[in-house]
Structure 1
């Protein structure tokens, strides 16, 4: 039996050049720096940055008065675009990464644990969405 060929070839984006990747990395680090500064200004202590776990990376882990916050930083042209850039699959990855981190750091989060999203726009403005999502 002859199988029909796929009439629509799969379209993939061209690979980013090293310069494009380096620029994106620099923008991401600058956004994380802004987000960390906003957390510190609000009385948090940043415990970890870019924490790699078997489940994925946690951008920032911060604590204040026993409250532990796993923070995802989203940088886009506008705060609105940043707010809509966290997909459910990424939320699940962050929940798993947070669980791993808690397993490695017992005793943290005695006053509670939450997942915050810090939005950063092109002008460097930061808005924090407190307790942005939870394990259902």
Structure 2
């Protein structure tokens, strides 16, 4: 068996990256459908800040939530894939977004996770993590 060339390896990595990107977009679209069916309003999608990106920012009845979307083979694996480092990044990005959107009105803030498995099943984990 012949060893792959550097070009072949780069192409393989690029294909995997493109596939992951498409899966992420599809998962975020599915998450939006779930959230709107639950009565949430989508305020921002893929909100980028100097401190990181947040997949979705949503609002409902005085609640503001920053949402991370994870698609994996199972719901449990997806839920466990939000690392403490990612949580810190999301909280930092949320801080930046709150500072740049003083007009947002809320009584409560949460950090939620939408998990999607390989069969397209989705679950909304409310208040998945908190500021320490």
**TM-score under structure 1 length normalisation:** 0.86
Report the counterpart of residue 100 of structure 2 in structure 1: 104
Instruction: Report the Cα distance in structure 1 between the residues aligned to 2:98 and 2:36, rounded to whole angstroms.
Output: 21
Which structure: larger Rg?
A: 1
- Residue among 65, 72, 78 paired with 2:74: 78
Report the counterpart of residue 26 of structure 2 in structure 1: 30
Report the counterpart of residue 10 of structure 1 in structure 2: none
Question: Unaligned regions of 5+ residues in structure 2, if any?
Answer: 1-8
1:107 deviation in Å?
3.4
Alignment partner of 1:17: what SS?
Answer: helix
The alignment's C-alpha RMSD in Å is 1.3
Extract structure 1 runs of 4+ deviating beyond 4 A.
Answer: none
1:19 deviation in Å?
2.0
Report the counterpart of residue 47 of structure 2 in structure 1: 51
- Say whether 1:114 aligns with 2:106: no
Report the counterpart of residue 4 of structure 2 in structure 1: none
Report the counterpart of residue 7 of structure 1 in structure 2: none
Which structure shows the bigger proportion of residues in helix conformation? 2
How many matched pairs? 123
